[in-house]
Structure 1
């Protein structure tokens, strides 16, 4: 661990104490201030002559870093630059991103991070976080103790099986937890020194990676069954022993394991699966906002979900729980959903159905009177023509699946169809929002998973709602950490959705906060989540403490004075 201690002086001013000096101090990104080391610090820590003469402010450094960032034309190269900056000077990186969050969020996160994952093994230069391979399964506690900082509030962990619609990426998926933690800090204000990205290397079934001489991971077919389950169990046991109050964020696990891990461990850890719960939370928020505009209620909806994988089922389950909170029975709350997977509508005819999909299968008699080509493979268009859904959600990663025929069929039966192509990255989106707007003659209420330009229609500007998880997970984590919640409940997620839905604006079809509003929205989500945790007995603070506790957790990127140990 780093030789550092955070202290306060007699005037209650914070400072950092360390015994690290000289070149070493300049090579540790958590400590490096570069040209901002003061004259006194340069003498005290053996830096005299190791830096140019001028002492700069953080503002000076940000201005230079932004010029360097803009000098790269390609977004992927800008991503590489920002990651290099994070490896060099952590405070400068976070201040730069905070000052330009609207411009840089798509570069550090979706959609560009998917390309960074693919390039990981060829571009690898600097290790970040912890790598735990199956071969090290009996040394997990030792590995966790090799972290850089003793206090960890937040872990983002992935096994790399189900990355961003691009599938099994093995060890290269480490770029995802790193990017998620960037967003936790940029949007939620989580102190980066108290975060930890972890990659569980359970092998890979990606033949291209296994045959790549530059692949950095464990060259072994991906674990499954008991071996995989025991690996995860050992990891959880080590985390609980080392970080008993940590917020554990599961990220980009394969469909089956994502559900299994969440269900098995959510009652014994403060854990959260962003692909399932975060996706569902933001989608629910956008739908609640859309229903304010259509002046209808959730129980009145007919919902088609195109893509019944991890994200699609996460959205479906979240909406099911929301319907249950409206007083519907389990049967009534499942009835609005029509799930379409790669083999068509999920029915009692369907094969290879997952346990998550099973409760939503449609009965044979429900489709007996339909005019369809093949009852074994009922298409999305056939579902729309027969069900006349009011809401269409895309989580399929099938580019342009919502074509003109689909959209016109939706708009034919519904005054204001709610259409959400949520797959990312951008080239996997089921539709482009401008097309949806044009094909529906401006009637559709739209949200997308990836960023798109605003729509200009009939001389009006309509902002495109990005229904992206960055609107939810930073605030959920911040709220849980602030009150030391011992788990994440469904009601905490419901509160997060309600907080986000308050940003609806009927005149512009605004359903969700913009990137510019994301930091304030994250604070509101955190407050709502924290209050619900207290009300449910999952945290021991009082309600009147919540705003103070949340604000105390929000970190601002700035340099502390240094003193030598």
Structure 2
């Protein structure tokens, strides 16, 4: 059923059109003779280092981030290794272009900026044919799939088939940040329609122009997809991304114990946030086990964070009930309390036996040291909220995690100014440093890219049969431990992104160690696990 991988060496124009193998003007004289390239390239031979200077200069000449995004995607489409080396060596500058916040705009405009097909699309019309369709993918050794149905893209809502920008962006970070070879990565879009009428009315929209598939028809299509990829790509890890909360939870529960998979919005975000909370304790001096934490938002991200924090609190010695009692939730209807009849099943365990009240009154009641926003609602951390947190705490910890930047609960500058520079702040999208009373305060970026690439690398390296909760706890601890004293002095609870490949390797090693400990690993354990994993990491240098 499956076509054999074509191992024939491309030559001539075919080689220059092969993004994986193309080196452009870096092909040597000998290579130009050997591969039939004489006359197809300018005379001067450039090193990859000089090529980097050229592409970075061209990138900087673009007038907007969306134009820079389009430029980078075009580079990826013609010279894969040059793209990844550029991204790796300029990760702090380029991650906000390749992923949040610019990827949000790229998804919104996806149909209008479309240049080149990338990724794999599955529609309701493909029911019964998915396994056979997978043979059309050019690679046979797929180890990692990022899949979305486009219903809850960042904080932007239902973008349907435009959501393909998310798997493409995530997988580029897997390769750049953790060295997963690009050929082992596969972006997938479950194009099951959209509830966004403006998209269905857009003549340029690329997806299925019908209302979104729901119920058993939806679930059975996802089942067929999951079962098919297990057969065609038996070593694959599936990452679910940007599904609406009810589907995110139901699909995770459906597959987590029988398929190598995880949900980044629930579990990756949780590990990232837990790491930030653990690091913040080194600034505030408050023992982790003494924390009271309030969440604004009760979706998959917030409850995923709460579940992992609860597990960490229990490891710190608290009972399950005592750990859960440290966690407070507020949503758009106010404090999550037991007598409400509008609570989704995933939030019910956190409902409190307390009177109904609004957000600010809930802060006064709970007296939290940590406030975490995962709402997608900009401006919800108001000046009054920040000042209230500052009255309660000498060093309030405030995480405004919603993406993209336009959806953040507050900005770094607002948090610092409203708290007289005392807030320990982190956000989902990057904010610049803030000069406050002669000091530069550096907000931490709570980016899932600190976590998911290393987890994926560790799972793939040892061929773990499933992804356990303990792996996310380990990832959070490794990330928290990587925050230096210098980082903390500037107010940051995350390390510089420039260190991300080392951090990913450290996380991968811890994840693989856990897999061996839990008898989940299917590969023999090497003597030097870290060195063996590092050997697997993709290097785009030529």
Normalized against structure 2, the TM-score is what? 0.96
Alignment of 1:40-59 (within 5 A): 40-59=30-49
What residue number does 2:242 align with?
252
Per-residue displacement from partner, 1:301-329 (whole Å, max 9, x unpaired)? Answer: 22110011121111111112212222333
2:409 matches 1:430:
yes
| Matched-pair contact (CA < 8 Å) for 1:2–1:148 | no
Which of residues 464, 468, 475 in structure 2 aligns to 1:496? Answer: 475
Which of residues 101, 108, 111 in structure 2 aligns to 1:111? Answer: 101
2:52 matches 1:62:
yes
What residue number does 2:191 align with?
201
Alignment of 1:415-564 (within 5 A): 415-504=394-483, 505=485, 506-540=488-522, 541-542=524-525, 544-559=527-542
State the shift of 1:296 in Å.
Answer: 2.4
| Matched-pair contact (CA < 8 Å) for 2:526–2:532 | no
Q: Which moved more, 1:139-148 or 1:424-433?
A: 139-148
| Matched-pair contact (CA < 8 Å) for 1:411–1:417 | yes
What residue number does 1:338 align with?
328
Alignment of 1:141-540 (within 5 A): 141-363=131-353, 366-367=354-355, 375=356, 378-504=357-483, 505=485, 506-540=488-522
State the shift of 1:44 in Å.
Answer: 3.4
Cα pair distance change 1:262/1:520, threshold 3 Å: same
Let me know the Cα RMSD of the aligned residues: 1.6
| Matched-pair contact (CA < 8 Å) for 1:72–1:78 | yes
Per-residue displacement from partner, 1:136-165 (whole Å, max 9, x unpaired)? Answer: 121111222111222111111111111010
Normalized against structure 1, the TM-score is what? 0.92
CA–CA distance in structure 2, aligned partners of residues 270 and 552 of structure 1: 23
Per-residue displacement from partner, 1:35-78 (whole Å, max 9, x unpaired)? Answer: 22233333333322222222222222212111111110211100
CA–CA distance in structure 2, aligned partners of residues 451 and 84 of structure 1: 24
3-state secondary structure, aligned to 1:138: coil
Per-residue displacement from partner, 1:505-538 (whole Å, max 9, x unpaired)? Answer: 3422331111122222111111111111111111
State the shift of 1:266 in Å.
Answer: 1.0
Gaps of 5+ in 2: none
Q: Which moved more, 1:326-335 or 1:166-175?
A: 326-335
3-state secondary structure, aligned to 1:215: coil
Which of residues 129, 147, 152 in structure 1 aligns to 2:119? Answer: 129
CA–CA distance in structure 2, aligned partners of residues 143 and 184 of structure 1: 25
CA–CA distance in structure 1, aligned partners of residues 99 and 53 of structure 2: 22
How many aligned positions are there? 536
3-state secondary structure, aligned to 2:121: strand
Per-residue displacement from partner, 1:482-523 (whole Å, max 9, x unpaired)? Answer: 111111111111000000111333422331111122222111
